[in-house]
Structure 1
Amino acid sequence: RLVHLAARFDDELEWLRQGVKSASQWIADRLQIRSATAREWIRVGHALRHLPLIDAALAAGEISYAKARILTRWADVDSEAQLLGLARERTADRLSVAIARALADGGETDDERDARLHEARSVTTWTDGDGMTVVRVVVPPSVGKPIVAAIDELVRRIAALPPEGPVDAPTVPDGAPAGAVCEQKVVDEVTESGQNAPAGATGRQSVSAPPPKVSRQMSAPTDSLVDTLHKIGLRWHPSGHDEWTFPSLAQQRADALVVLLLGAGVQVSTEVVFHVRGDGATFDDGTPTTDSAIFRQLDQAFVRLLIHDADRRPVNASSARRLPT
């Protein structure tokens, strides 16, 4: 009911007659909440007017407000019933990926999907109430997944550093180009015949299986990067103070992102896993992508091919790494 009241208040323009710049600002001031929260109430309330199935499910308590927020961003009259079914089967955390997969099967070509995702890219920043700078980055998954992989790799490296003493420099893989930055090892899944499975292929489809653990290798870092990692690592180790706590994963990732963006000579090798099947290509977490988005990354990557049959049994999981041909 709250979101419907917010949307109706937005329509009635009483906030404008009182000299307030927006309905969300009026609501935020009166209820002492963030303007972004009020804007979201108004958006959801407006959207639910055109989505009766989702509106009824929310009113009956069949779905949570968190799920309704996600659904109202993507559902329309044609897809409402399908997406509501996904919401009933999945948690709110997994709903966005499921919706992305469902919409990817909606008849778009690879070029159309790539163009739509590229057009939606954005970076927005704002200052939080405690003075912290908040950065929101929206990029296609073919760009975002390697960035996340690089952040997590730096987290792993920093956590592995001893509090004191020298650090062995990582080795450079045989045949790796000098100075390669953010090298990606792309792992493709293929059908039991050994051929890449194009979208829409017929016959038995291979089923993704978790790849074996791969030892990650990196280009040798500069001394300044080693010093930077050591300084961050020292902050992660116990300081002897009673109030010291180990940083959360979110805090570790924040430190790694700063190193990745601002550190001099950052050279990180990451692994990004793609599953290429006859029914479409996805990242390892199920996020859909396109064949063309994968192809664009091959000239910057070493490729390790994992072959599985239709029963998820490895046929030939060679550890050899090679440049694409």
Structure 2
Amino acid sequence: MFVEDQVGASAAGGSAEPRRRDASATSDVLLDHLEREIVELAAHINAGTCRWLELIAEFDRREGWGSWSCRSCAEWLAWRCALDTRTAREHVRVARAICGLPRIHAAFASGDLSYSKVRALTRVADAGSEADLIELAEHATASQLERVVRGLRRVSSQEADEIQRLRYLSTWWEADGSLSISANLPAEEGAAFLNALDSMHDLLRGGGASAVAPAAHPGAAAGAAHPGAGRDRDD
């Protein structure tokens, strides 16, 4: 590694000539000073990368890439910043993600978190988990954090699969003509289902049974019905 030094003009008025000095001269610097400068510069790189991603997010939001006839911000970024497509896509993903994660964003901007750690965190973080994940990131290496995140994503995927497996909605007509419903739904779907029932209940109370066209009665022709004899729907 070499650094450029500028040699002053000679007393006779000659022009300045650059000379190259071997950076091995830094061997005289104490190791702890070298270490401190390396760490400080890394923090500056982190903060600079955060600022770069902020600009990318804004450029993407305003669809600046469209003026170049690019199909996406990632395509434009790969072209203009000499990145491979996969890396460009990941940078755009992280740029978008940190906009919605203020604590991670702040730690990144201050230089406390590296891009590698932020990239991992944004795969699993949400508003409720940011603080805990930042604390974890402060005590783990980037590779350790990647492994933890992979584990969290596997658990999340398994939980989602289990919820989907247990999810069902069944309806059937009782012998007395009433409708029975049995369901096991995820929280958001369950809330939407209850809201729909409440709306229907209000409609019936307001206009009477004639306000809604009667539904087909699967049990009318078959006589006595039993659970499952009507319509079962597993989504």
Task: Name the TM-score class by shorter chain.
Answer: 0.3 to 0.5
More RCO (CA 8 Å, sep 6+) = 1
Pair member with larger Rg? 2
Compute the TM-score of the two structures, normalised by the length of structure 1: 0.32
